[in-house]
Amino acid sequence: MGISAKETLLSQPFWIVLPLLVGSVTVLRILFSIFQWTYAYLIRPGKNLTKYGQWVVITGPTDGIGKAMAFELARKGMNLVLVGRNPEKLFKVSCQIKAEIPSIELRTVVIDFSGDLSEGVVRLREAIKDIDVGMLINNAGLSQIIPKFFHEIDEITWANMVNVNLLAPTIVTSVVLPCMVGKGRGAIINVGSGSTVVIPSYPLFSVYAGTKGYVRYLSKSLHTEYKSNGIFFQCQVPCYVVTNITPGMKSSFFVPTASEYARSAVRSIGYESLCIPYWPHFLQYLLVRLCPAEFFLDKFVLRAALHLRSKADSRRNNKQTGVSS
Residue numbers annotated as active site: 208
Nearest Cα to Cα of residue 240 among 166, 151, 301, 297: 301
Give the C-alpha separation, 82 to 64, whole Å: 14
- Residue 48 CB-density burial (10 A; 0-12 exposed, 13-18 middle, 19+ buried): exposed
Beta carbons of 160 and 142 less than 8 angstroms apart: yes
Q: Buried b / exposed e across 79-116, counting CB within 10 Å, b at 16+?
A: bbbbbbbeeebbeebbeebeeebeebebbbbebebbee
Give the C-alpha separation, 309 to 168, whole Å: 28
Beta carbons of 189 and 138 less than 8 angstroms apart: yes
Give the C-alpha separation, 155 to 152, whole Å: 9
Give the C-alpha separation, 206 to 257, whole Å: 25
DSSP 46: P
